Amino acid sequence: MIIRPRKMAMYVAKKYFDKMSNDGINFMDEDWDNCIIIDACRYDTFKEKNTIPGDLKARRSKGSSTFEVFEKNFQNSTHHDTVYITRPLCNTTKKWCKIDLDEIFHEVIDVWEKDWDEDYNTVRPEPVKKSIINAHKKYPNKRILGHFIQPHQPFIGKTGEKITERGMRAYDHVTGQEVSTEKSIWEQLEDGDVATETVWTAYRENLELVLPHVSELCKDLSGKTIVTSDHGNMFGEFMWPFPIRGYGHPPNIHTKELITVPWLELPSKKRRKIKSEEPELTESPEEIQDKTDRLSALGYY
């Protein structure tokens, strides 16, 4: 068995970061009524593009991928005072995430069930915003944790539409086997098949697409609102102290580009009265399988 040098280097890097302490934020321990996550958003890019008024700080995340962040934030805990409006997450399959979000939150609302965009293999910002508003109205005494996919790939802006395999993989929903013959966007970037600035532009466009919806949403939410991200993204920067470049957001790689996230606190006057109650719903095996399929389309493989 031949082990490629980069694969070995990534293995060593992950072991190194595993041993390093990470005093990242546990966002569930923070003081808020509404927490809006925009996925894979770097602090520097958010600072550049954001127009939402508030107190912006850079914070450290507990991980460099959604599943790592969620495990470290939610492991061995319950938040029955919170409703989570989610991007596709395979939260009951141990291959990806070792926790079951349905047991942790009062309710988990999977926007992808009715609003999955087959053309882009993702969920666009509009239905996420609508679902968060509806949850806020339905559960006035619950904390609202809302999760937009963008700026995470697939890239759905003008530049992203021109990129082959713009960040997603194609999978057979019956067999679960990968059927894509093209490289992922991060493989293309690593191999020099696409210019770094092209991918940067597509990423920024994704952020520019989601921010107006986040801004409108914040105006409709009562109580104290935070806008943040689960992790960042890399575009070929060196994974210091290792002389290898990072692409995308591999788990357990805690570089500044991956664990520095925005923490925007919006001004608030009246707070909501929050009440904890037992979870409401559970998933069927069919729902779990569908979630797995759509998670694959987002590039988790």
In a domain, 121, yes or no: yes
Contact call for residues 217 and 226 (beta carbons, < 8 A): no
3-state helix, strand, coil split of the chain in percent (to 5) is: 35, 20, 45
The pLDDT score that the predictor gives to residue 209 is: 97
In a domain, 53, yes or no: yes
pTM summary value: 0.86
Using the 8-state DSSP alphabet, how is residue 273 labeled?
-
In a domain, 206, yes or no: yes
In a domain, 251, yes or no: yes
Domain that holds residue 229: 32-270+282-297
Locate 193 and state its tokens.
Answer: 């098949």
pLDDT tens track for 57-78: 999 999 999 989 998 999 889 9
The pLDDT score that the predictor gives to residue 119 is: 83
pLDDT tens track for 154-190: 899 999 988 866 555 554 433 444 555 567 889 889 9
Contact call for residues 225 and 271 (beta carbons, < 8 A): no
Give the integer Cα–Cα distance in Å for 260 and 224: 22
Contact call for residues 251 and 242 (beta carbons, < 8 A): no
Q: If we measure between CA atoms, which residue out of 96, 98, 97, 105 comes closest to residue 77?
A: 105
Give the integer Cα–Cα distance in Å for 293 and 259: 27
In a domain, 213, yes or no: yes
Which residue positions in the chain have pLDDT lower than 70? 1-4, 21, 87-97, 164-182, 280-301
Distances (CA, A) of 240 to 29, 51, 69, 198: 30, 31, 21, 24
Contacting residues for 254 by C-beta, under 8 A, at least 6 apart: 17, 20, 22, 63, 64
The pLDDT score that the predictor gives to residue 112 is: 82
In a domain, 233, yes or no: yes
Contacting residues for 58 by C-beta, under 8 A, at least 6 apart: 43, 260, 261, 262, 263
Lookup result for tokens 């040098």: 5
Residue 136 bridge partners (DSSP): none
The pLDDT score that the predictor gives to residue 301 is: 42
CATH code: domain of residue 290 = 3.40.720
What type of residue sits at position 189? L
In a domain, 63, yes or no: yes
Domain count, the chain: 1
In a domain, 57, yes or no: yes
